Chains A and B, each alone.
Chain A
């Protein structure tokens, strides 16, 4: 099993460009998440999806959109990239939303630079 597969691993954008980060999991998990990691700060939740067809805002959703295409896939889109979105992005999944009794499984991360 591949676990959580996240692409691309690296990306450089110019301000105003758009891009989509792809994430897929093969563990039949209900819940999927997008986090960003910035120096000196803990992981912060951008958006999450409790199940196929549902999405909800996290702590820092501005400037992002998401799509839960099916149970396996959860994509993150930057419509008009800004330098403040330079960060490392992680996709994660778990069996249940609450995280109680359930481990989180993370993708390998995407290092995004916006110039």
Chain B
């Protein structure tokens, strides 16, 4: 069965801390997406990756194909980073399977 698990479910940190959110999946995938869902509900695509590492500003996404694991890192976290972060895996077919999300709260 194609499954995606995220950890932690909830994460609270102080402003400036380095944040890591994890995503693991059950079998081989073609690609993995990281999404951000704002407190107002809107969803924005952050990264799509199939190998290695991608960086955009303070956000870094990595994937280890052998370990079936991806991480999303946020450096120098800020209260505006508070959101739900969702990973989604493409299991070789055309449809994505989504994780349940990690709720991140950054305290000033």
Q: How far is the CA of A104 from the CA of B35 in the complex (A)?
A: 9
Within 8 A of B (CB), among A31-77: 40-45, 48, 50, 58-59
Q: Report the stretch among B43-51, B58-66, B67-75 that lies at the interface.
A: B43-51
Contact yes or no, B45 A104, CB < 8 A:
yes
What is B's interface to A at a CB cutoff of 8 Å?
4, 30-31, 33, 35, 41-45, 48, 50, 86, 88, 90, 94-101
CA distance A97 to B31 in the complex (A): 12
A102: chain B residues at CB < 8 Å are: 48
Alpha-carbon distance between A104 and B95 when the two chains are bound, in angstroms: 12
Nearest chain A CB to B19 CB, angstrom units: 21
**Per-residue 0/1 for A79-103: is the Cβ within 8 Å of any B Cβ (1 yes, 0 no)?**
0000000001010100001111111
Interface residue SS majority, chain B: strand
* Closest chain A residue to B100, Cβ basis: A42
Bound CA–CA A101/B48 (angstroms): 6
A13-25: contact bitstring with B at CB < 8 Å (1 yes, 0 no)? Answer: 0000000000000
B98 near A44: Cβ-Cβ < 8 Å: yes
- Residues on A lying within 8 angstroms of B by beta carbon are 40-45, 48, 50, 58-59, 88, 90, 92, 97-106, 108-109, 111
Q: Is the CB of A98 within 8 A of B45?
A: no
Residues of B close to A90: CB separation below 8 A: 43
Q: How far is the CB of B101 from chain A (nearest CB, A)?
A: 7
Return chain B residues, CB-CB under 8 Å to A104: 33, 35, 45, 96
Q: In the complex, are the beta carbons of A43 and B98 less than 8 A apart? A: yes
Q: Report the 3 A-B pairs with minimum CB-CB distance, sorted nearest first.
A: A42-B98, A106-B43, A103-B45
Whether B97 and A42, one on each chain, are in contact in the complex, defined by CB atoms closer than 8 angstroms, is yes
With contacts A100-B30, A100-B31, A104-B33 taken as known, whether A42 is within 8 angstroms of B101 at the C-beta atoms is: yes
Q: In the assembled complex, how far is the CB of residue B21 from the closest CB belonging to chain A, in whole angstroms?
A: 14
Q: Please tell me if the beta carbons of A97 and B94 are within 8 angstroms of each other in the complex.
A: yes
Whether B45 and A105, one on each chain, are in contact in the complex, defined by CB atoms closer than 8 angstroms, is yes
CB contact between A99 and one of B41, B86, B94, B99 (< 8 Å): that residue? B94
Given A42-B4, A42-B98, A45-B96, also A101-B43 (CB < 8 A): no
